[in-house]
Structure 1
């Protein structure tokens, strides 16, 4: 692989991380404008569904998806509700807890979530927790705690703990739902493309979004124009643009572990982008002191985690995307 090609893939991944970052910023816009969190979560997927449907014909169509959904509806419903429903609802609820960089940074707990769940999910070599990667993951967790405590002046109140708990739950729910669907496809011998799988999970999580929309209507009436536009922005930037760019980047370097690790490490820049966008467009304060130290720990931990993964894990295909809610 040429150096130029690897650098191009890293640049694409960096642009992808920028678009993923709009999730945190736009969710914060909806929260500060008075929009009910249930509407923010529901609209994001209700808008994403037709967008994915429009793109799907250019990515192989439905393929084996309809048959898979009919034959194993229960499995798809359960893990779609976990991977998309619980994940997005919790992350959206937490958006009201503080600046966008706080939620973006705290969500990086997800780097150790998959490792911790591996022994409970797999029955082969994948169940082993790689200790070097886990140690680096603990650095990220330390950064998250430092970030949260610094933002709360050394003491989290009840609302702060609830918000942090919601972010942690979402950080575990996404990889759990994603891995369980992948494992199900593996065990049943079903071959689906990435967009087909994402579209299937979006369809099967539809009951959660309709229920949240009804509840949001009862609690706060119809969504405001600002909230609807924010949700549409998340759907377009994260649900479509960022995901496609990230897949393109990982596809380019799928046979080079070092380059692939560098591409994956670009997700750490979401925290930096969230900070910059929050300061420029939302009037949020820069993290400083201990909060800045926590942010730097998170970035260093994620980069280290990705580099270790790149050295230790043979690459047989493109990596999955980071969360896009």
Structure 2
């Protein structure tokens, strides 16, 4: 099996585990849990997991040396890649159902291609017209789902949710790609994730201080358990799978686009999760049509050589 195909399958598997994020975040929001704790606790839980892994692999010292050499870039891109990505994504769960957040999140597929010329100084466009056509199909599907959501979500909530997911959708590929450049292939996936967690901690502490000062409730036992579930399934398993997949094709813009396109499968997984866990009704026909277009766009991306 070719490396690109392997990376694509890993990306698809990561989408399954990442879908847990949308469903559980929505559950915590419905139960009255603060989005601040939903976001920050995920990374606090992830820290010991990756610290143990990196220590057991005897790779902690090289990581700390790498951070020491370029502390400001590490802090900047880790904050963007983890903090500015996940805090808005969690906040959006207060405005929209999980399937709508998951579908809007697919803009990240397009974001990666838009950002590529600005991230890579030697970038030369290798995307064919068909690549943009497939991406347009995904965007059309997202637009149809947004229109459908107007029947059940207030316009102000819809716009707020859309805006914050849009911020997250650009922050994630930006932080991930810049960190791959910064690591220069010298660090493995576990080191890179641990380094990003460590360097994003100041952001999470600052967010927690804001939460305390603005009267956000402290996390309940239920929220502690739910964020642990998100940390294991989405933060550990999904992140490792996705970062491994992007690392495998980090020098191949087409390969990166394919891997990032796999994340559209999260829409399907989020719908299934919301129906079974939150007892939500099946989305209406327009929303299902939009989801189908997203899946078709993703599939065409994956099949294109």
Measured against aligned partners, the alpha-carbon deviations of 1:255-301 in whole angstroms (never above 9, x if no partner) come to xxx99999876543321111111011102121122111111111111
Give the 5 Å matches for 1:21-32: 21-32=19-30
Determine which of 186, 202, 222 is the counterpart of 1:226.
Answer: 222
Q: TM-score, normalised by structure 1?
A: 0.82
Determine which of 211, 216, 226 is the counterpart of 1:216.
Answer: 211
Q: Are the counterparts in 1 of residues 81 and 171 from structure 2 also a CA contact under 8 Å? A: yes
Determine which of 120, 123, 129 is the counterpart of 1:122.
Answer: 120
**Does residue 64 of structure 2 align to residue 72 of structure 1?**
no
Gaps of 5+ in 2: none
Measured against aligned partners, the alpha-carbon deviations of 1:70-111 in whole angstroms (never above 9, x if no partner) come to 121111111111111110011000011222111111101111
Counterpart CA distance in 1 for 2:122 and 2:196 is 25
Give the 5 Å matches for 1:80-229: 80-126=78-124, 129-153=127-151, 157-186=155-184, 191-218=186-213, 219-229=215-225
Shift of the 182–259 alpha-carbon distance from structure 1 to 2, 3 Å rule, reads closer
Counterpart CA distance in 1 for 2:239 and 2:77 is 20
Counterpart CA distance in 2 for 1:250 and 1:180 is 12
Counterpart CA distance in 2 for 1:191 and 1:249 is 16
- SS, match of residue 93 in structure 2: helix
Give the 5 Å matches for 1:6-21: 10=9, 15-21=13-19
- SS, match of residue 97 in structure 1: coil
RMSD: 3.1
Counterpart CA distance in 1 for 2:301 and 2:81 is 22
Gaps of 5+ in 1: 312-325
Q: Are the counterparts in 2 of residues 118 and 126 from structure 1 also a CA contact under 8 Å? A: no
Counterpart CA distance in 1 for 2:114 and 2:256 is 22
Q: Are the counterparts in 2 of residues 101 and 275 from structure 1 also a CA contact under 8 Å? A: yes
Q: TM-score, normalised by structure 2?
A: 0.87
Q: Are the counterparts in 2 of residues 149 and 156 from structure 1 also a CA contact under 8 Å? A: no
